């Protein structure tokens, strides 16, 4: 198979190395940024890739612009596309699927969610014969490293983030990770594959930027720890829900055992039951290995991970079926003044000028809306779903 690569960064270089070490692949061109060409196999011109005789183009550029332009043009030119770019697929996955179908070419992206963890390809297969009840998990290694370091090593949020950067687990600008946006994009991809819907509005997202060492102290007193989890699924009404939020999980739960920068992707099938996949969710070789799995799938004849029914939209479910109890921390003055608007079930304790409590069961949307309203009035707040399993 004749292959060209868009990008020669962390992932692109890993793909190039692995393709060279496997028989049956001929690398035609590797697109690099202006001024970065250092070898004959590299080119700084996208037109060179567009006009070469490659059958398959692997996109490892990141971002949306110019990645969408380049991948769509390659598909129109009769080249199949494999992408590891979650931002691109979350924004334009359906567009690229339609272009690929129109031209009879492949568009696969299993490396865009979970790195080496084969969650998307397994969902793609499972949904053919089973009903996916829900899917998600711990899908961001940066946030898990920070939370695990705060939990087990007593580090502050700032020190744990600085260490994650030093080890290469966090980007120079980690906003997408700690805000939950990176996890949300992966949930969007999971929803596309499992439910034929690309969520584009009304999802709820809460990252880890408001977590503190005091939250972990109280969590430990409850026999729990904190992790960031993304989830989507079908309520009994048949409507879809999707969210990202911290979770207070018991120490014997699967999530609490996920250490360092490891990911845990899970889904529950109506017939299969709970399925779990644990491993490296990012990095040069884990991601490159997932890309090469897609290369093999293209060689075997697979062309799509999405069905023709996949659409942009969001039939969000805000019913009783999406109710959760929440662990909250709120500064004492705000708690006293807003007690009537906060559905408190039980006050846990008061520490460091804050009140810790467990809420009555409320919808995910209601909790996120309440937190946003309190913050608009200057409140300092942290909340996490109180998970029992």
Q: How far is CA 219 from CA 69, 149, 249, 304, 356, in A?
A: 47, 14, 9, 43, 10
Count CB-CB contacts under 10 A for residue 301. Answer: 7
Q: Torsions phi, psi of 145, nearest 5?
A: -60, -45
Q: Torsions phi, psi of 128, nearest 5?
A: -70, -30
Q: Is 186 a catalytic residue?
A: yes
The residues, any chain, with a CB within 8 Å of residue 82's CB and separated by 6 or more, are 56, 57, 58, 59, 106, 107, 108, 109, 111, 291, 294, 295, 298
Question: Which residue of the set 105, 186, 231, 387 is catalytic?
Answer: 186
Sign of the torsion angle spanned by Cα atoms 258, 214, 346, 230 = negative
Residues annotated as catalytic are 186
């Amino acid at each position: 198979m004749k292959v060209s690569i868009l990008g020669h960064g962390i992932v692109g270089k890993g793909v190039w190395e692995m393709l060279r070490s496997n028989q049956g692949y001929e690398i035609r061109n590797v697109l690099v940024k202006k001024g970065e060409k250092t070898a004959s196999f590299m080119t700084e011109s996208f037109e060179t890739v567009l006009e070469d005789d490659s059958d398959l183009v692997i996109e490892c550029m990141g971002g949306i612009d110019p990645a969408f332009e380049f991948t769509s043009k390659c598909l129109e030119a009769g080249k199949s596309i494999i992408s590891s770019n979650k931002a691109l697929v979350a924004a334009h996955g359906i567009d690229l699927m339609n272009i690929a179908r129109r031209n009879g070419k492949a568009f696969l992206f299993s490396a865009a969610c979970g790195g080496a963890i084969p969650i998307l390809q397994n969902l793609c297969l499972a949904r053919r014969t089973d009903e996916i009840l829900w899917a998600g998990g711990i899908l961001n290694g940066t946030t898990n490293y920070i939370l695990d370091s705060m939990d087990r090593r007593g580090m502050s949020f700032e020190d744990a983030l600085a260490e994650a950067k030093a080890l290469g687990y966090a980007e120079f600008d980690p906003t997408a990770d700690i805000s939950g946006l990176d996890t949300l994009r992966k949930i969007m991809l999971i929803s596309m594959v499992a439910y034929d819907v690309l969520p584009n509005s009304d999802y709820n997202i809460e990252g880890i930027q408001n977590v503190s060492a005091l939250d972990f102290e109280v969590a430990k007193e409850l026999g729990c720890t904190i992790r960031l989890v993304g989830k989507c699924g079908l309520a009994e009404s048949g409507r879809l829900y999707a969210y990202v939020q911290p979770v207070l999980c018991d120490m014997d739960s699967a999530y609490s055992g996920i250490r360092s920068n490891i990911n845990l992707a899970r889904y529950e099938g109506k017939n299969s039951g709970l399925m779990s996949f644990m491993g490296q969710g990012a990095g040069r070789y884990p991601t490159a290995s997932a890309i090469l799995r897609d290369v093999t799938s293209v060689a075997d004849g697979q062309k799509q991970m999405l069905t023709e029914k996949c659409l942009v939209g969001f039939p969000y479910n805000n019913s009783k079926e999406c109710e959760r109890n929440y662990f909250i921390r709120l500064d004492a003055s705000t708690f006293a003044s807003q007690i009537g608007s906060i559905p408190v079930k039980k006050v846990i304790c008061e520490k460091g000028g804050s009140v810790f409590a467990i809420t009555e069961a409320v919808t995910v949307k209601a909790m996120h809306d309440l937190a946003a309203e309190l913050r608009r009035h200057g409140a300092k707040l942290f909340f996490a779903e109180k998970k029992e399993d």
